[in-house]
Structure 1
Amino acid sequence: MVKKLIPALAALAVVAAGAWWFTSGTGGPSQTSINALGAQTAASPAADVDASLVPDMALGDPDAPITIIEYASFTCPHCATFHAQVLPQLKANYIETGKVHFIHREVYFDRYGLWAAMVARCGGEMRYFGLADRIYSTQSDWARHQDPAVAVEQLRRLGRAAGLNDDQLNACLENGEMAQAMVGVYQANAEADDVNSTPTLIVNGQKHGNMSYADLSALLDSLLAQ
């Protein structure tokens, strides 16, 4: 089943009521509550966030004839399948050949998905998609874990494997302003594009649900033939 979005206000409540951030010392991860972040996020409308902190992460030529925006959650199994089975073929046949500009926009169902996105963004644009691939491919290891401390440590390991150090990861995971901006930008984008499930694909402005590569390829070829 395709995962349904929680309402925008509920997404804010995830941060307001349950935002826990982690730092690691010599004894491993410890858990800290950031109540101020929750209060700020709940009180601030999306229009007040600094959207420049959350640039779109994209692949391919911005001037390509087709733009695909994928709305996806790092905790959504169908999104992980899309990134494992569809995106590699899409990259080889359409993105790298200049036919498609691909944008990945994060959706936050829960705090695990928000943490994963913060780790993915921690490496900047150059590392983002490599980290995203690692996060999606190991989703079953961290996203279903009952202990948040273990889940976040597994996400940290992925960051370390991509070349980030603990200081960098701590700074990213403890960045309340960034978390607030990410939730606000997600809220604004999802409302503007009428996104209510993941994965959702916006192909040249038209909304589509989850697709196999065969169906997506047929759609793209029909657009390119016009």
Structure 2
Amino acid sequence: MRLSAILLSATAALALAACSSENDDATAAGEEPTAEALPIIQPPEGQKWSDVVSKTEAGGYVMGNPDAPIKLVEFGSLTCGACGNFSAQAFEPLRDEYVASGRVSFEMRNFVRDPIDLTMAMLTQCGTQASFFPLTEQIFANQGQVLQAAQQLDPAIGQLPPEQRFTAIAQGLELTQFFAQRGISQNQANACLADTDKAQALADQTQAAGEDFNITGTPSFLINNQLVNFNTWPEIETRIQNMGARDQ
């Protein structure tokens, strides 16, 4: 996907668009047979599995045991309300129960839908690898305020060149201040937002997700590299428990 495909989108309208979808060729929640409970896998000495974060070849960020027998991948958009709802329900139990056990790893791959989404994705990836998940969760927690502010953005921002546009969006939505309060300085944020190669990489990552896994909406999930056709936390939790992510 060329960056222009995202830049030409109507910023405010796309930010509020519906974002979930179903995939006809994916597996349903009840199709997985129940497996035996998997043993707990201890993290490296002095660490928690939630502290183990790295960037993947696909451009996502993965938390947890890199050799976890159950690998959960989310394709998520930071302007997607359903993704925000999933985060609110799922992130803490995923991190504190399933990732902590070493049985499950959790990878987030940004699936950017619009200029605001792209701006925020660039900022969440502007710090260290360890800061990615806390920054992402903070954005989801404040998503409603961001989308409300998006309705007041100056349409002239859309005419700026890419190396200026994302900075202008961030300033218009007070995202620069938001991230400064969370460890990303204004100079650091501005440098990240001017990086058009990074913006292009995120656009290409989104296109690859559509081509490789038939991702058409968010949130969408892979479990052990297989696309599933459900996207709520109760369904995800049921599946990973059936695969052995439980004590008995």
Task: State if a TM-score over 0.5 links the two structures.
Answer: yes
CA distance in 1, matches of 2:234, 2:153: 37
Question: Which structure is higher in strand share?
Answer: 1
Structure 1 residue corresponding to 2:109, chosen from 105, 119, 132: 105
Partner of 1:13: 5
8 A contact 1:131–1:158 mirrored in 2: no
Q: Alignment length, in residue pairs?
A: 186
CA distance in 2, matches of 1:142, 1:168: 21
For 2:222, the aligned partner's letter is I
Partner of 2:15: none
Question: Which structure is higher in helix share?
Answer: 1
Structure 1 residue corresponding to 2:152, chosen from 131, 143, 147: 147
Counterparts of 1:131-210 in structure 2, within 5 Å, are 131-144=135-148, 145-148=150-153, 152-153=170-171, 154-210=174-230
Once the two structures are TM-superposed, the CA of residue 93 in structure 1 deviates from its matched residue by: 1.6
* Alignment TM-score, normalising by the size of structure 2: 0.68
* Alignment TM-score, normalising by the size of structure 1: 0.74
Unaligned runs of 5+ in 1: 1-7, 21-50
Counterparts of 1:48-67 in structure 2, within 5 Å, are 55-67=59-71
After superposition, what is the alpha-carbon deviation per residue over 1:60-106, rounded to whole angstroms, capped at 9, x for unaligned?
A: 11100011110010000010011111121111221111011111011
Partner of 2:235: 215
8 A contact 2:78–2:84 mirrored in 1: yes
Partner of 1:117: 121
Aligned alpha-carbon RMSD (Å): 2.6
Partner of 2:132: 128
Structure 1 residue corresponding to 2:72, chosen from 61, 68, 74: 68
CA distance in 1, matches of 2:103, 2:57: 28
Unaligned runs of 5+ in 2: 12-54, 155-167
For 2:218, the aligned partner's letter is T
Identity of aligned residues (%): 27
Once the two structures are TM-superposed, the CA of residue 164 in structure 1 deviates from its matched residue by: 1.4
**Which of structure 1's runs of 4+ aligned residues deviate more than 6 A?**
51-54
For 2:111, the aligned partner's letter is V
Partner of 1:92: 96
8 A contact 1:199–1:209 mirrored in 2: no
Counterparts of 1:35-46 in structure 2, within 5 Å, are none
Classify 1:184/1:211 alpha carbon distance in 2 versus 1 (closer, same or farther; 3 Å): closer
With a CA cutoff of 8 Å and minimum separation of 6, indicate the structure with the bigger relative contact order. Answer: 2
Once the two structures are TM-superposed, the CA of residue 135 in structure 1 deviates from its matched residue by: 0.7
